[in-house]
Amino acid sequence: MASYIPVDLRNQVRACDRNRCCYCKTSEDLSGIRMAFDHIHPRSKGGETCFENVCLACRSCNEFKGDSTTGQDLLTQQTVPLFNPRLQNWHQHFA
Ligand SMILES: [Zn+2]
Protein backbone atom coordinates (compact mmCIF):
# COMPACT_ATOMS: atom_id res chain seq x y z
CA MET A 1 0.00 0.00 0.00
CA ALA A 2 1.47 3.34 -1.01
CA SER A 3 1.69 5.92 1.71
CA TYR A 4 3.14 9.31 2.32
CA ILE A 5 6.33 9.26 4.34
CA PRO A 6 7.55 12.67 5.52
CA VAL A 7 10.90 13.83 4.11
CA ASP A 8 12.46 14.06 7.58
CA LEU A 9 11.52 10.45 8.29
CA ARG A 10 12.82 9.32 4.89
CA ASN A 11 16.14 11.03 5.58
CA GLN A 12 16.35 9.52 9.07
CA VAL A 13 15.64 6.01 7.74
CA ARG A 14 18.12 6.39 4.85
CA ALA A 15 20.85 7.56 7.22
CA CYS A 16 20.21 4.78 9.73
CA ASP A 17 19.97 2.04 7.10
CA ARG A 18 22.92 3.49 5.14
CA ASN A 19 20.99 3.18 1.86
CA ARG A 20 20.91 -0.61 2.12
CA CYS A 21 18.05 -3.07 2.20
CA CYS A 22 17.45 -4.05 5.83
CA TYR A 23 16.59 -7.62 4.81
CA CYS A 24 19.24 -8.67 2.26
CA LYS A 25 21.75 -5.80 2.77
CA THR A 26 21.84 -4.90 -0.95
CA SER A 27 23.25 -1.42 -1.41
CA GLU A 28 21.24 1.11 -3.37
CA ASP A 29 24.50 2.53 -4.72
CA LEU A 30 25.63 -0.86 -6.06
CA SER A 31 22.26 -2.01 -7.37
CA GLY A 32 21.36 1.32 -8.93
CA ILE A 33 17.75 0.68 -7.98
CA ARG A 34 15.94 2.98 -5.59
CA MET A 35 15.03 1.37 -2.28
CA ALA A 36 11.46 1.26 -1.06
CA PHE A 37 10.33 2.40 2.36
CA ASP A 38 8.92 -0.71 3.97
CA HIS A 39 6.45 -0.69 6.83
CA ILE A 40 7.87 -3.46 9.00
CA HIS A 41 4.44 -4.04 10.48
CA PRO A 42 2.24 -3.37 7.43
CA ARG A 43 -0.07 -0.39 7.38
CA SER A 44 -2.83 -2.75 6.29
CA LYS A 45 -2.44 -4.44 9.67
CA GLY A 46 -2.27 -1.25 11.71
CA GLY A 47 1.43 -0.43 11.35
CA GLU A 48 2.32 3.21 11.89
CA THR A 49 4.48 5.48 9.78
CA CYS A 50 7.25 6.16 12.29
CA PHE A 51 10.97 5.45 12.53
CA GLU A 52 10.44 2.31 14.60
CA ASN A 53 8.25 0.83 11.87
CA VAL A 54 9.83 1.98 8.60
CA CYS A 55 13.00 0.65 7.00
CA LEU A 56 14.61 0.49 3.58
CA ALA A 57 13.92 -2.57 1.47
CA CYS A 58 14.98 -3.49 -2.05
CA ARG A 59 12.20 -4.14 -4.52
CA SER A 60 12.63 -7.92 -4.31
CA CYS A 61 12.47 -8.08 -0.53
CA ASN A 62 9.63 -5.56 -0.37
CA GLU A 63 7.51 -7.46 -2.88
CA PHE A 64 8.35 -10.86 -1.38
CA LYS A 65 7.44 -9.69 2.12
CA GLY A 66 4.25 -7.96 1.03
CA ASP A 67 1.99 -7.55 4.03
CA SER A 68 3.26 -10.67 5.78
CA THR A 69 4.30 -10.53 9.40
CA THR A 70 5.16 -14.20 9.77
CA GLY A 71 6.86 -16.89 7.77
CA GLN A 72 7.59 -20.59 8.01
CA ASP A 73 10.87 -21.67 9.59
CA LEU A 74 12.22 -24.22 7.11
CA LEU A 75 14.04 -26.16 9.85
CA THR A 76 11.23 -26.44 12.38
CA GLN A 77 8.23 -25.95 10.06
CA GLN A 78 6.83 -23.54 12.65
CA THR A 79 5.26 -20.20 11.86
CA VAL A 80 7.58 -17.49 13.20
CA PRO A 81 7.61 -13.68 13.18
CA LEU A 82 9.55 -12.12 10.29
CA PHE A 83 12.82 -10.31 10.98
CA ASN A 84 12.34 -6.85 12.49
CA PRO A 85 15.34 -4.68 11.56
CA ARG A 86 14.54 -2.12 14.25
CA LEU A 87 14.37 -4.66 17.07
CA GLN A 88 16.64 -7.52 16.03
CA ASN A 89 20.27 -7.94 15.01
CA TRP A 90 20.61 -9.07 11.38
CA HIS A 91 23.67 -11.29 11.98
CA GLN A 92 22.10 -13.05 14.95
CA HIS A 93 18.74 -13.53 13.23
CA PHE A 94 20.15 -14.95 10.01
CA ALA A 95 22.99 -16.96 11.58
ZN1 LIG B 1 16.53 -6.84 -0.09
Q: Break the chain into its structural domains and give their ranges.
A: 7-67
The CA 77 to ligand 1 mean position distance, Å, reads 23
CATH classification of 7-67, choosing from 3.40.1800.10, 3.80.30.10, 3.65.10.10, 2.60.40.420?
Answer: 3.40.1800.10
Surrounding residues of ion ligand 1, Cβ less than 5 A:
21, 23-24, 26, 58, 61
Q: How far apart are the first and last CA of the chain?
A: 31
Tell me the average pLDDT across 43-62: 97
> Average pLDDT, whole number, for the chain?
94
The lowest-confidence range among 9-13, 27-31, 51-55 is 27-31
The CA 14 to ligand 1 mean position distance, Å, reads 14
- The model carries a pTM of 0.89
The CA 62 to ligand 1 mean position distance, Å, reads 7
Say if residue 1's pLDDT is above 60: no
